[in-house]
Structure 1
Amino acid sequence: MDKLLDKAYEPSAVEDRIYRFWLNGGYFHADIHPDKTPFTIVMPPPNITGKLHMGHAFEDTQQDILIRFKRMQGFEALWLPGTDHASIATEAKIVAAMAKEGLSKQDTGRDGFLERAWKWKEEYGGNIVAQLKKLGASCDWARERFTMDEGCSTAVREVFVRLYEQGLIYRGERIVNWCPHCKTTISDEEVEYEEQQGSFWHLRYPLTDGSGWVEIATTRPETLLGDTAVAVHPDDERYQALIGKTVTLPLVGREIPVVADTYVDREFGTGVVKITPAHDPNDFAVGQRHGLPILNVMTDDAHMNENAGKYAGLERYEARKAVLDDLEAGGYLVRVEPHTHNVGTCYRCHTTIEPWISKQWFVRMKELAAPAIEAVRKGETRFVPERFEKIYFHWMENIRDWCVSRQLWWGHRIPAWYCADCGETVVSRETPTVCPKCGGTHLSQDEDTFDTWFSSALWPFSTLGWPEKTPELAYFYPTSVLVTGYDIIFFWVARMIFSGIAQTGQTPFHTVLIHGLVRDAKGRKMSKSLGNGVDPLEVIKSSGADALRFTLATGNSPGNDTRFLPERVESSRNFANKIWNAARFILMNISGSETGLPTELEIEDKWILSKLNTLIRDVTENLERFELGVAVQKLYDFLWDSFCDWYIELSKSRLQAGGENAAAACRVLVWVMEHTLRLLHPVMPFITEEIWQTLPHEGETIMRSAWPVYDPALAFPDEEAAMERVMAAIRAIRNRRAEMRVPPSKKANLYIETEFTEIFSAAAPFFERLASVSAVQTGGSFDIDGAVRIVTDGAVLYIPMGELVDREKETARLQKEKEGCEKQLASIHAKLQNSGFINKAPARVVESEKARAEKLAEKIALLDQSLTDLQK
């Protein structure tokens, strides 16, 4: 790479070239090195249907910061990438594409559909990987995995068979969350709830013996066609005499029993509830306890089936209207109450979910959850922040059996076969050809596929070769850190923990770093419906990947949401320009042979080296504690303020003078810049690599250079404190001159009263260069008429007023400004003394006016002091 840098930093001219350099050099690759400690992150696999969004950019930036940091610390750092097959989302895209051709899944058959799906995956599935590369992700792309590749598929089948053999998997009829549009089950966690306006319909169910009736209330009257009981609480005195009797189901005429069950809430509604075991999970449980029939009255597309009698064929909401009309006509409808409630919808298509009885495959969870709970309690896996352990424990301790079958074609097919001759179910690692029970050969495989989360739960170890005992598995597993959002703790994190422990005997990662969501400037969640999403690729195109990464890393803390503000991207781009210009300045002043520090250091050298040394210690500690936002802010402050605005400016006099002192300053400039670039590299990898290559350095790439370490020999607390006193004095002079509107070109003498005479005397060139001072005199005491007096840490500064301003003009200006402030203050006082204003104006307005009055009074006092100083 060239020694010189272009005049302006153009990310588009740098980033692609740098990334190719990294790829061609194989610098992302991690291998097995017994003499090195592994550090492993498995990437939460984005969907192959996905496009890089700000959430991805946020999450992957954090992972890349950690992996680059650990790589530079000398760990064998593996960031293992991959993508998820995303059953429902991908199948929906293929079905939609086929529909445009006038085709359906049934037209092509399963094999034809899967052929199309794989072609789609090959064509579009790599898009998000290419987009991650634009972000600068330093993944080991040679190890990239896909949740449906051969190795992962083998792992999925192995786990299913093992759990089945252990009695932890069963097939049975249970209530599931059914999406009538996608025509598949979805998990409890994939149900999104939205508030909807509905009704409570109060209905009469007549007692069969003619002695009266009971009143029930329901939000889904169409399901009464599947009622097989009504229930009351066993201790409810109102209905003791009814227990054991029967009621006649309206519109149907079927006799159903009155059962007693503690599930019923005596205080809610009438205290009598209808029991529909095929269409409600709580009713299903009541039905199991009382041996009630299970009567399904709906099809998989939410139409009424043959068990619904004359309503068969009607869509569920059409059936609701017809049932209500008939109930009213028959005198069964008592009253209707408006009711607002949360209704479950499919996370993918937003269709209202139907609780529906269905024969599915389930995993028994209690036995698997127990060791996973214990692992977190013992600290074998910890959450950062710790508060998210509560969410984990709550879900795991109240976990229900996991429905793992999905009625989809795209995905891992369940390895279960059914014998048409004897009805035997065969679960096998290999495809069977003969029934082990009867010897029959008429075997058909289960049509269902696995829940996507079933394969994702195996991700930390299936990607390393499990179930084979591969060297990679032995070396890189358990992994080190999982970086993920708080919204999928139960979707994915918990399932990986119990799966890892069950299959490998070890928790899959030591730390779970939880991050929040990226929200818009108003704090709203980014979504297509709101149209408030920001495309990270557009940000990269306009401002560069480093600016985006720095923006996302700044100001965030583990577990908390962050707001994406476009102006912060501009600030980050300005920061990149600041670093670039500082590097150009250094390159224009060095010979290229500057390595190591000079033997003789000036006070400003010791100050900046001591500040850098502290920065190295602090940033390292912050990153180790996952305080990425804190570390990034410290880097920003050091580079912008301490190095660029102070040390570089302080060094210019020495550089202009030439000689050994200039050569020493060059060595310090290179040392500080090179070390700071290494600290900044995990956050802003492109610009740091580009600049680092132009400076004197060792090695091929900054990403494989050593992470800076704290050096006690470079701690100079006394010199640092002394330099800070000088800087405080320079700042104070600048501020006072700005208040007095003195142009930088107008120089003045400076007199310093201080006990640190030696320090301030030696700093005279700094005052002359940075504070517009013509000459400096230090001593014990000064008595200067008409001087501006400034008190700072360890010094009292005097600047003759006449050397700064024209007294008459400045007096006139200050007097005019004072009169304007007094006029405004009088107006506010008049308003505050007006009872009409006080009584009618909002309290916040009154308080605002009082605050304005206080500020004006303070300003007038300062102006009076300035006028007094001018008269001395």
Structure 2
Amino acid sequence: MEAAKYDPAQIEGKWYQHWESQGYFKPSMDESKPSFAIQLPPPNVTGTLHMGHAFNQTIMDGLTRYYRMKGFNTAWVPGTDHAGIATQIVVERQLSEQGISRHDLGREAFLQKIWEWKNISGGTITEQMRRVGCSVDWSREYFTMDETRAETVTEVFVRLFEQGLIYRGKRLVNWDPVLGTAVSDLEVESVDETGSMWHIRYPLADDASQALIVATTRPETLLGDVAVAVHPEDERYAAFIGKEVVLPLTGRLIPVIADEYVEKDFGTGCVKITPAHDFNDYEVGKRHQTALINVLDLTAKILPQAEVYNFQGQAQETFALPEAYAGLDRFEARKALVADLQAQGYLVKIDPHALKTPRGDRTGSVIEPMLTSQWFVAMEKVAEGDETGLSLAGKARDAVDSGKVKFVPENWVNTYNQWMNNIQDWCISRQLWWGHQIPAWYDEEGNHYVARTEAQAREQAGAQAVLTRDEDVLDTWFSSALVPFSTMGWPEETPDLKAFLPSSVLVTGYEIIFFWVARMIMMTTHFTGQVPFKDVYIHGMVRDNEGKKMSKSEGNVIDPVDLIDGIDLPHLLEKRTVGLRRPETAPKVIQATEKLFPEGIPVFGADALRFTMASYASLGRSVNFDFKRAEGYRNFCNKLWNATRFVLMNVEGKDCGQDESLPLAYSFVDHWMMSRLQQTEAAMAAAFNTYRFDLAAQTMYEFVWNEYCDWYVELAKVQLNSGDEASQRATRRVLVRVLEVVLRLLHPIMPFITEEIWQTVAPLANAKKTDSIMLATWPEADESKIHPEALAQMNVLQELMGTVRNLRGEMNLGPAVKAPLFIEGGAELGIYLPYLPMMARLSDVTLVETLPEDDAPVAVALGARMMLKVEIDKAAETDRLNKEQEKVQKALDKLTAKLEKPGYTDKAPAHLVEKDRAELAQLNDKMTQIIEQLAKLK
């Protein structure tokens, strides 16, 4: 380390390139070693690194580097997800700027455009991962649409179909009318909005003078109503159950049914049931075996003819809908319907209503529950011939119940089980062009044939059949659910599959427990008989410093690379406002950016960013990212760098105790430092083994900054300046050996600075057994090296030092004033005296039987009385103490009055009363000290 000043830009790129080029990230594949494997949650190929990625990847890389140093056969498997919807939108948007649609190009040409875009932009996020220092095995990098993954996806689909676990049916799904596809729950955002609640009269068929009042937020779906439901125990409507009401504007008769789904106390207690356009209504309709009446087309416009189905998805009939609404967009139809309801006397009232509107996260359009024909995976059905007798969901439940898969923190098991115990069949088809095309073909009669190839499908259908391939693609989560084994060579029995399945841990966020974690467990256990991973470490979400979710439209999103490199405000504003999904949000983004970063973002470096992320990684908690903490850890990097330079200046070219035949005279300070090192090694192992990165960061910060730098390095100066040759040799040996171990302990969290320093320090400590610190041995604690006596002696020295410093403060001595110290105590204090002058800024220290007669204040520590012999200006000191006494008295009077106020101690929170009383006691102690000091000055 030649540079005098720590400069992360000078070391980070150099070392990462070296590590990667030397193949250090690859596993050893030594079967005699235990394995550690971890799968990267594949980021979208459309994306760039965000703070959530940096948080997640700091944890994963820390674990990987830790186990690599422990000698494990270590594989961190990287990959990117093809992100069906997101990627198609990006490329379609680019084409639209040229006035071209995907339909103008056709499927094959459009897919070629996407592959071209992917080849240009798809590597952005992996390059950013390199900047953060991720030690992934890039030779294993996969893409969920590459040839190997495509073969695995087809194989899995066909096997599941042959086992009776994949089927095609007409069911209710989330439908994005703008995208024209089914979407998963993860792609739907519930947005708080203000809408309306329309109260509508449904007259009784046999007595028009009576009516049920139905409250709804979606009056346009009235056209598809099949019933009105009331609670079976609602006495208001007991007489109406089994009767029929007239559906307004249509004249259709629909029954009144009883179902416990209805909340008696919400709205009017009457609910319209539209099973083809509402998920809850679908379940009600299924229980009562009603019809399913679809009134919307796939663009969310009113159909001219309603389509009627049963719950087996079979078409029953069609009937005409009111001509006035046919072809209208759902919201235009809503306006027309409400106007007609009011004109015909059916509308009772309209109330404002707060509701959560489901919107597509990519388009912002309102998601419509839509009855469509889709492919599904059966969750609770047992595969034909499966000897376990467990369904896919059953296997996933059993994996967790049996303890084969453990959640960290454990409370996330409840979230997992809640979803697994209420699981629905999985809709896996998407009406897109980008993705794994479903391996199914249809003949002219609509019969489908599932096969690995078209040739095999033709064998099933007959040579004369005219076949057309299904145009739909698979849900992105289908292919990503297979990565635990699709990346290890399955279906072949490979060395990778043997070594790395199950992997050691999955590190991910809580929001995809259902969509990815559970499905990986299902698929892996079903196809391999193994769980995909042993532990699932769930971390929180990274929010801004005010606790808000980070988003581009809010202007509070942070690119980790900007934190690493720094960026000035003009370039940051340009970066944040160019290419906004909604350009109208630009003023808001600019305002938020200028507020957060008035001077831009300074250079922090990857190590400071990683240490910050590690410090936030307490189990399962979301974190509010604060730049002050990042600044503190950048200072920590500087502290480590500067301490190293001091050590090197004092040890380079000198005997550092490598020749153990020469005498070494260790002091209690040296033994204390080595003892604390052993305790720190044990604490770090415990932190990594329990995923407590926050404790690892805290442990190293306190040890390096407080104990090594602020205490040992300073005390070592005394030993180097005044000790004999054996003592100096021992001091140099401890300085470099502790520093070298510190670097290894820090390496999993701060890889770059530790590598740079280690290359220089390790040879001095006789510890350079490998070419890189990342291949060096992880330090293991040795309890036999802990010296309880030295630990106790250091506590004495620290208490003596603290007392002297407090005494200086009481006497208002400036840092430049050096005074003699007298200590009245036993000879056992003699070992501490050499350290006090420099550490406490003293001219000298004298151990005496009795303190000299003087008016100076006396302090007591560990039974020893201490006095600083300083010529004091009595008048000036008396004036200072009188002013201090007046200030303390005012504080005492104010606090006493507060505590004596009638009722305060009874009504105020107990912890506040306790705090006030503790503060009162401190003020009284301070007043006593002032009075004693004033008495001595008289």
**Scaled by the length of structure 1, what TM-score is found?**
0.93
* Pair 1:844–1:706, CA change in 2 (3 A): closer
Partner of 1:150: 147
Sort the Cα spacing of 1:845 and 1:612 in 2 relative to 1 into closer, same or farther, 3 A: closer
Return the alpha-carbon distance in structure 2 between the equivalents of residues 489 and 480 of structure 1. Answer: 17
2:622 maps to 561
Moved more, 625-634 or 251-260: 251-260
Separation in structure 1 between the aligned mates of residue 892 and residue 31 of structure 2, nearest angstrom:
76
Retained in 1: the 8 A contact 2:664–2:729?
Answer: no
**Contact preservation (8 Å) 2:664, 2:727:** no
CA distance in 2, matches of 1:253, 1:833: 76
For 2:626 and 2:809, the matched residues in 1 are separated by 31
**Paired residue for 1:769?**
838
Which residue is equivalent to 1:434?
458
Pairwise CA distance, 1:340 = 2.1
Q: For 1:598-637, list aligned pairs within 5 A.
A: 599-637=664-702
- Cα shift at 1:70: 0.6
Q: Which secondary structure does the structure 2 equivalent of 1:372 belong to?
A: helix
2:310 is matched with none
Per the alignment, residue 645 of structure 1 pairs with: 710
Q: 8 Å contact 1:789–1:796 — kept in the other structure?
A: no
Q: How far 1:117 moved relative to its partner?
A: 0.7
* 2:86 aligned residue: 89
Counterpart CA distance in 2 for 1:798 and 1:206 is 96
**2:657–2:732: 8 Å Cα contact kept in structure 1?**
no
User: By how many angstroms is 1:687 displaced?
Assistant: 0.4
Three-state SS of the structure 1 residue aligned to 2:168 is strand
Paired AA for residue 762 in structure 1 = I
Q: CA deviation at 1:203?
A: 2.2
SS in 2 for 1:305: strand
2: CA distance between counterparts of 1:226 and 1:589?
85
> Structure 1 residues 797, 188: CA separation in 2 closer, same or farther (over 3 Å shift)?
same
- Aligned partner of 2:638 in structure 1 is 577
Q: Please, which moves more after superposition, 683-692 or 246-255?
A: 246-255
> Among 845, 852, 855, which residue is 1:786 paired with?
855
1:175 aligns with 2:172: yes
What is the match of residue 838 of structure 1? none
TM-align CA RMSD: 3.0
Amino acid at match of 1:358: T
Paired with 1:283 and 1:67, the residues of 2 have a C-alpha distance of: 48
Three-state SS of the structure 2 residue aligned to 1:468 is coil
Matching residue within 456, 462, 475 for 2:486:
462
Equivalent pair of 1:40/1:476 in contact (CA under 8 Å): yes
Gap regions ≥5 residues in structure 2: 306-320, 381-390, 566-602, 903-909
Following superposition, the deviation at residue 127 of structure 1 comes to 0.3
Match of 1:693, SS state, is helix
CA distance in 1: counterparts of 2:793 and 2:846, whole angstroms: 18
Judged with a 3 Å threshold, the aligned counterparts in structure 2 of structure 1 residues 788 and 431 are, in CA distance, closer, same or farther, namely: farther
- Deviation string 1:341-381 (CA, Å, 9 cap, x unpaired) is 22222233232111111111111112211121122122111
User: Could you say which residue in structure 1 is the equivalent of 2:579?
Assistant: none
* 1:858 Cα deviation after fit: 5.4
Give, in angstroms, the shift of residue 19 of structure 1. Answer: 0.8
1:796 is matched by which residue type in structure 2?
A
Counterpart-to-counterpart distance in 2, 1:847 and 1:678: 44
Which of 248, 255, 270 does residue 250 from structure 1 map onto?
Answer: 248
**Which residue in 1 is equivalent to 2:885?**
818
Contact 2:857 2:933 in 1 (8 A): no
Closer, same or farther: CA 242–63 of 1 in aligned 2, 3 Å: same
Query: Is residue 2:231 matched to residue 1:220?
Result: no
TM-superposed CA distance for 1:494, in Å, is 1.2
**Aligned-pair CA distance for 1:271:** 4.6
Q: 1:665 to 1:478 in 2, by over 3 A?
A: same
Sort the Cα spacing of 1:71 and 1:780 in 2 relative to 1 into closer, same or farther, 3 A.
farther
Residues in 2 aligned to 1:846 and 1:288: alpha-carbon distance in whole angstroms: 59
User: Can you list the C-alpha shifts for 1:74-122, whole angstroms capped at 9, x where unaligned?
Assistant: 1111111111111111111111111101011111111111111111111
Letter of the structure 1 residue corresponding to residue 72 of structure 2: F
Structure 1: tracts of 5 or more residues without a match: 836-842
Aligned equivalent of 1:337, options 351, 374, 379: 351
Contact kept in structure 2, 1:407 and 1:448, CA below 8 Å? yes
Shift of residue 52, structure 1, vs aligned partner? 0.9
From 734, 739, 742, the counterpart of 1:668: 734
After TM superposition, the structure 1 stretch with the greater mean CA deviation from structure 2, 161-170 or 436-445, is 436-445
Q: 1:819 Cα deviation (Å)?
A: 3.8
Q: Shift of residue 223 of structure 1?
A: 1.1
Partner of 1:184: 181
Does 2:425 match 1:425? Answer: no
Question: Structure 2: how far apart are the matches of 1:131 and 1:8?
Answer: 25
Tell me if 1:683 matches 2:749.
yes
The equivalent of 1:806 in structure 2 is: 873
Q: Distance in 2 between matches of 1:252 and 1:184?
A: 30
**Paired residue type of 1:398:** N
Equivalent AA in structure 1 for residue 668 of structure 2: I
Q: 2:612 aligns with which of 551, 572, 592?
A: 551
Residues 465-504 of structure 1: pairs in structure 2 closer than 5 A: 465-504=489-528
Q: CA deviation at 1:643?
A: 0.8
Cα distance change on mapping 1:606 and 1:496 into 2, 3 Å: same
Relative to structure 1, the CA distance from residue 259 to residue 325 in structure 2 (aligned partners, 3 Å threshold; closer, same or farther) is same
How far apart, CA to CA, are the structure 1 residues paired with 2:95 and 2:197?
42
In 2: Cα distance, 1:37 partner to 1:608 partner = 33
Deviation at 1:217, TM superposition (A): 2.5
Separation in 2 of the partners of 1:64 and 1:753? 55
**Mapped pair 1:739 → 2:818:** no
CA positional deviation for 1:439: 3.4
Partner of residue 414, structure 1:
438
Letter in 2 for 1:63: M
Change (3 A) 1:316 1:563: same
Letter aligned with residue 667 of structure 1: R
Match of 2:43 among 46, 59, 63: 46
Deviation (angstroms), 1:786: 3.0
CA displacement 1:301-329 (0-9 Å, x = unmatched): 21112224321111111100101111222
Shift in Å at residue 632 of structure 1? 1.2
Task: Determine the structure 2 residue equivalent to 1:702.
Answer: 773
> 2:291 — aligned with what?
293
**Which SS does the other structure have where 1:36 is aligned?**
coil
Indicate the percent of aligned positions where both proteins have the same amino acid: 48
Whole-angstrom distance in 2 between the partners of 1:831 and 1:730: 37
Larger mean Cα displacement after TM superposition, 351-360 or 817-826? 817-826
> Structure 2 vs 1, CA of residues 424 and 829 (structure 1 numbering), >3 Å: closer, same or farther?
closer
Cα separation, partners in 2 of 1:508 and 1:270, compared to 1, 3 Å: same
Structure 2 partner of 1:57? 54
Residue aligned with 1:139, SS = coil
Q: Could you tell me which residue of structure 2 aligns to residue 840 of structure 1?
A: none
DSSP-derived class of the 1:746 partner: coil
- Which SS does the other structure have where 2:192 is aligned? strand
Q: Using the TM superposition, give the Cα deviation of residue 335 of structure 1 relative to its aligned residue in structure 2, in angstroms.
A: 2.6
Report the residue type matching 1:565 in the other structure.
D
CA shift, 1:768, in A, is 1.9
User: CA contact under 8 A between 1:555 and 1:633: conserved in structure 2?
Assistant: no
Spell out, residue by residue over 1:251-270, the C-alpha distance to the aligned partner (whole angstroms, 9 max, x if none).
Answer: 22334444555544555544
Aligned-partner Cα distance in 2 for 1:435–1:226: 43
On the 8 A contact 2:196/2:217 being kept in 1, the answer is: yes
1:320 to 327, 331, 334: 334
Moved more, 404-413 or 857-866: 857-866
Aligned residues: 860
CA 1:347–1:865: 2 relative to 1, 3 Å? farther
Q: Deviations over 1:197-219 (max 9, x none)?
A: 22332223344455555323322
| TM-score, normalised relative to structure 2 | 0.86
Question: Given the superposition, is the C-alpha separation of residues 331 and 672 from structure 1 closer, same or farther in structure 2, using an over 3 Å criterion?
Answer: same
Q: Which one of the candidate residues 65, 70, 82 is aligned to 1:68?
A: 65
**Amino acid paired to 2:611:** F
Structure 1 stretch displaced more, 479-488 or 248-257? 248-257
Task: For 1:349, give the aligned amino acid.
Answer: T
Asked whether the 8 Å contact 1:414–1:448 carries over to 2, the reply is yes
